[in-house]
Amino acid sequence: MEKLPNTGNSNQATLANDNLFHKKKSGQNMMAHTSTASMLHFLMIVLATALTAASPVTAQQNGTAVPAAYRIQIGCVLSPLHPEACDAYENFLNAVIPGLFAFHRMSELELLDQVDTLEYALVDTKTMSCLDVEQGFAPLNGFGLPVVTAAGDSGDEVKFVDTVGGVMFTTRDSRIVSLSDLKDQVIAGTTITDFASTHANFAKYRSKIGTDLIDDAAEVQFMGTHDRVLDAVLSGDAAAGMVQTGFLEQAAHDGLLNWEDIDILAQEIAITEDGTRFPYFSSTPIYPGWTVVATSFSSLQARTDVLNFVLAVPSTTIAFTSPESFAGVGDILENFGVIERDLVRTTETRCVRKMSHIVVQEEEDHEEETPAVEVDGDGHEGEEEEHEQPSYEPGTVVLAAAGGEQGHDDHEDELSASQIICPNTHFIYNHAVLATRCAGRSCPEQTRCLCRPCQKSAPILAHATPFQLTDELVEQDDPAVHDILLTSCDRMRVCAFGQQAQTLHFVLEDQLYSERGNKDTLFYFVSLFWADAEGFASMEAVPLAHAPNLATVNVTETHYGTAVVEVYLADRNTEFSEWQPIDGSPFLLQVSPRDCPDGMEATQDNTCECPVGTLHLSGKCMQAKEYLPIFIGSALAVIGIGVYIAIAVVRRNADKLWQIDAADVVVSDPPEVLGMGAFGVVIKGELNGTGIAIKRVMPRSSKKTTDTNGRSTRTRGRIASSKRSAKSASTVDSSNVDVYSMNATSTIQASKTTNGFGMEFGNVDNEAAIERALEWQDAEANKATTARTGHGKEISNAKSEFMAEIRLLSRLRHPCVATMLGAIVTKSSEVLLVMEYLEHGSLYDFLRNDKLPTPDMFLLPIVKDIVSGMRYIHNLKPAVVHGDLKAKNVLVDGNFKAKISDFGLSQKQRFGCGTPMWMAPEVLRGGEVTREADVYSFAITVYEIYSRQDPFPDEDASEVLRQIAARQVPAKRPDIPDSCPVMLAELARRCWSEEPKFRPTFDQVDAQLGELNISKVGASLIQQKQDALNKATVLNDVFPEHIAKIHCRC
């Protein structure tokens, strides 16, 4: 077979001329004179003879010797894991036609770089994928080796396996049970480029865990051979190992392994293409294994002839199978950095020229020695290096140098990027960082140890540094350089802090610098924009002479505040629009103002000046207060007066909505007393034909008066009447009037134009009549409540607060809240609250009304109304606290709807108003009245409703209050009557819990009451009231009053 002439570039020609397998013999001259057709015909005769012969035929029989220069050139990857594959292939070929094939064992990198000197090659999975992406070669046929059988299995049929996968295993007594347990462990592997044992396992780990094993493992030790990996795991030096499928079965067959000692991690059940189960344990899917590939030197006809030839020859040592696709293999190798894409021509790919181990071969005698070529990490030729290589036996697996040559075992101190392969989303750390990654760790002999050497980052990183980075610091591997390169700037995050006029230093690190084709014209364009000032600056980064992948940029600006820094990867041969920002751009700088003398402040121009509003006089900044006190004081006074007037006008207009003119109110004479409020009686009145209730909402300030003898006395603010009606037999003292015996016998009719009191009350207006009506029962009011009379100043403050509160309360509208219609503000600044009139008065009186008895079944809706009203005022913004919830402060309207009243006024809290027996323990101890205290009062009110009596009626009040205030166990509480529903009783007990935080809110109480079937009480009680009134009328007509009352109760 005639070899096609080499039409490659000069580098390929050089490699071909220097190839160990191209001998410059006289037979080479025949190639120029022998046609391709005659040579193919000659080889076909040999092949036909071989296929028909009963015994092996040599190429020299019948005088048809094949010249050495025209032998078929076949290469084979001498794998550190399966060196026997080359032996089996060569033995097969020589057994059929000895002398026809020139067989060459090569490392994977030698075969990739010298494939143009070969016609066929037997390659492993990784090398086949590289030939596919670099040369476009397709596999000719698969190559299978015999299946490892169990010890003692003597089956006659020999089976072959042409696929391969990865296995991850550990010892059974280890604590590793799943892939996630491999984090921070030492992992033993074979070589950095082997597909099945390394990258297939890496892909399985990423698919299951979501991260990369090279990042998670504390250390990955690439040991070169399967046997070393097994020894490391069994000895405990490594927590887990990664090998190819079939090795563990072979080790068990050879007695090196007991299956009971190991566990397979992430085991998969693999199925081959013919539907049979894969014969070996596997942690990954299975992929194509060893493959025979034809190069560009072989014609299509020649490939067909060779394929027919190998398929026709039977063998018990190897098997040739149909080829499989390597697309999936290529994707994995690209994901994990073995296959790289060109930065400019992204459709072009190549395999990295890196490997960790080689197999030592026997030295061959050559007529013309080829000089040793050291290949750097990028696959380019380097300088010839002469150094003494250690002596190893042929077949020994040793560490490879950067270009695939036999190397030294000194990687622990000199680990470089040329010996590391990272996933395509990662980059290798700078050598200053890389040198320290395995610090403090030991590494076995002939092992390449990697300690998290890769970082998942953008191609170009920006680092902040406190000093100027120089070539000397980088070359000396200064520890400070290591610290700088470990941290980088993030997009739109503050990267550095500084002070105005201080120089900030940055380092730009290009991790793809060695792969860029435009190094001569490439540079970094840096721009700064100040967000707090009108400023823009731009500059170029300066690359280091001996580390051009690093460039420095120094920022010294006069501005302070936040600076936005944008970094562009630029080319001098392109326009600005084509420049690309780096991934971390833009990032931020935070610059503080410069230091200035006392009283002065920094400016954006990097100077110090007096603040705005001051003058620089006598060498210092004079404050405005030093020369403009009168102006500022006058201005403030005018502004203050204007604001006060404006507020007063707005407030007065707003107060007209709730202020009621006393002239529009009608009260009876004597006044009809509805009940007792916190600061006096509550009387009935009429406003424009509507019934109302009038009450005082704060104590009256004491006023000095002078009696007829000229002596100074104190009154409770009563408006004394100097005249009495001529019809009265004697002067009536208002403090002794029994309000509960008064009858509405007459009406005080007032107007703005006439004196409604006539001769009976003298010449006073309607406002005075209302105040006098309220004064008549002040003595009783003082006895009925715990209110204290405040001092004049305190009462004045209370009035101011009340005016603010009443604006809020006048807007409240709720079916279960007594409506406040407004207030009367008298000429003496007395504030009288006007509420809606509720027909049945207080719940306290309603429950004790003998003429209208209320069955227990109708009490639950009343409780529900109380809860609804309290829930409403507690949920207001701001919340309103009742402060004195009890039956007397719950009113009942004509439809028997319960409404809460007498709430929300801070005056009750200011003057200590409240009923002690209903007060929460914390309030009795002097605490603040809160919403939780209202919940407690509600629980006591529930007791009051169902018992129809005050709490602890037969006990000494002071002793009871002392026990309630004390934190005793059990707490002092009244006994809820059995007539109360069980659910409500339990709810009440929760409401009067000793600790406020354990009491439910009214929202929660209302939700729990909603679970009960509560019917409306109005219609039933109205009918019941009518029946009771009818019955009382009949009895009163027939019997005396005391007898009628007895019959009515029956």
* Per-run averaged pLDDT (10 residues), the chain, 1050 residues: 33 34 33 38 47 44 57 92 92 84 92 92 95 91 86 66 95 93 96 95 95 95 96 96 95 93 92 86 95 86 78 83 91 93 82 92 55 37 48 88 53 59 89 83 92 89 90 84 87 89 91 85 90 78 91 87 90 90 89 87 87 76 73 84 88 77 83 72 84 77 46 38 34 34 33 35 56 59 46 61 71 87 81 86 87 80 94 90 91 90 60 78 92 95 94 92 91 92 93 94 92 64 61 61 57
Pairwise CA distance, residues 17 & 24, whole Å: 9
Given this structure, which CATH class describes domain 843-1016? mainly alpha
Q: Which residues pair with 602 in a beta bridge?
A: 608
User: Which parts of 492-646 are beta strand (E)?
Assistant: 494-499, 504-510, 522-530, 536-540, 542-543, 550-555, 561-571, 580-581, 587-592, 601-602, 608-609, 615-617, 620-622
Q: What are the CB-based long-range contacts (under 8 Å, 24+) for 744-750?
A: 744/668, 744/670, 744/672, 745/668, 745/669, 745/670, 746/668, 746/669, 746/670, 747/666, 747/667, 747/668, 747/669, 748/666, 748/667, 748/668, 748/669, 748/773, 749/666, 750/662, 750/663, 750/665, 750/666
C-beta neighbour count of 869 within 10 angstroms: 26
Q: Which residue, among 824, 803, 599, 571, has the nearest Cα to 694 in the 3D structure?
A: 824
Bond into 323 cis (ω within 30):
no
Show the CA angle centred on residue 648, arms to residues 647 and 654, nearest 5°: 90
Structure tokens at 463: 């680092």
Say how many C-beta atoms besides its own lie within 10 A of residue 518's C-beta.
14
Alpha-carbon radius of gyration of the chain: 52
SS3 state of residue 772: helix
Nearest to 716 by CA among 669, 679, 685: 679
Q: 734 in helix, strand or coil?
A: helix
Q: Please report, for residues 166, 200, 286, 423, 1038, the alpha-carbon distance to residue 328 in angstroms, rounded to integers and kept in the order given.
A: 15, 10, 11, 16, 112
Nearest-angstrom CA–CA distance, 834 and 1047: 40
Tokens representing residue 407 in the block: 């190397």
What pLDDT sits at residue 841?
86
CATH homologous superfamily for the domain 662-703+729-836 = Phosphorylase Kinase; domain 1 (3.30.200.20)
Rounded distance, CA 264 to CA 271, Å?
18
Helix axes 125-135, 327-335, angle to 10 degrees: 90
Q: How far is CA 1045 from the centre of its chain?
A: 76
Instruction: Kindly give, in sequence order, each residue whose CB lies less than 8 Å from that of residue 1010, ignoring residues fewer than 6 positions away.
Output: none
CA dihedral 876, 878, 879, 883 (to 10 degrees): -130
How high is the pLDDT of residue 930? Answer: 93
Q: Where are the beta strands (DSSP E) in 846-947?
A: 890-892, 898-900
Residue 637, classed as helix, strand or coil, is: helix
Cα distance between residue 1050 and residue 1040, in whole Å: 16
Q: Give CA–CA dist 791/911, Å, rounded.
A: 10
Q: How many CA atoms lie within 13 A of 30 on its CB side?
A: 13
Residue 12 has which token pair? 């390929």
How many CB atoms lie under 10 A from the CB of residue 922?
A: 18
Domain at 166-284: CATH architecture: 3-Layer(aba) Sandwich (3.40)
Q: Please tell me the predicted confidence (pLDDT) of residue 753.
A: 35
What's the pTM?
Answer: 0.52
Residue 1048 confidence (pLDDT): 54
Phi, psi for 545 (deg, rounded to 5):
-65, -45
Residue-level pLDDT at 1042: 58
**Ramachandran bin of 938, using left for φ above 0, alpha for ψ from -120 to 50, beta for the remaining angles:** alpha
Binding residues for ATP, as ranges, are 695
Residue 339 near residue 330 (C-beta atoms within 8 A): yes
Residue with token string 């010249």:
67
CB 198 within 8 A of CB 168: no
User: DSSP readout, 988-1039?
Assistant: HHHHT-SSGGGSPPHHHHHHHHTTS-----HHHHHHHHHHHHHHHHHHHHHS
pLDDT, residue 133, reads 93
CB 455 within 8 A of CB 430: no
CATH fold of the domain at 466-592: Immunoglobulin-like (2.60.40)
**What is the structure's pLDDT at 918?**
95
C-alpha 329/C-alpha 398 separation (Å) is 26
Q: Taking the CB of residue 124, how many other CB atoms lie within 10 A of it?
A: 28
Q: How far is the C-alpha of 882 from the C-alpha of 552, rounded, in Å?
A: 71
Q: Is 520 exposed, middle or buried (0-12, 13-18, 19+ CB in 10 A)?
A: exposed
Longest CA pairwise span in the chain (Å): 169
Domains of the chain: which residue ranges?
A: 10-147+297-324, 166-284, 466-592, 662-703+729-836, 843-1016
| φ and ψ of 667, to 5 deg | -120, 155
Q: Binding site membership: which residues?
A: 695
Residues in the chain: 1050
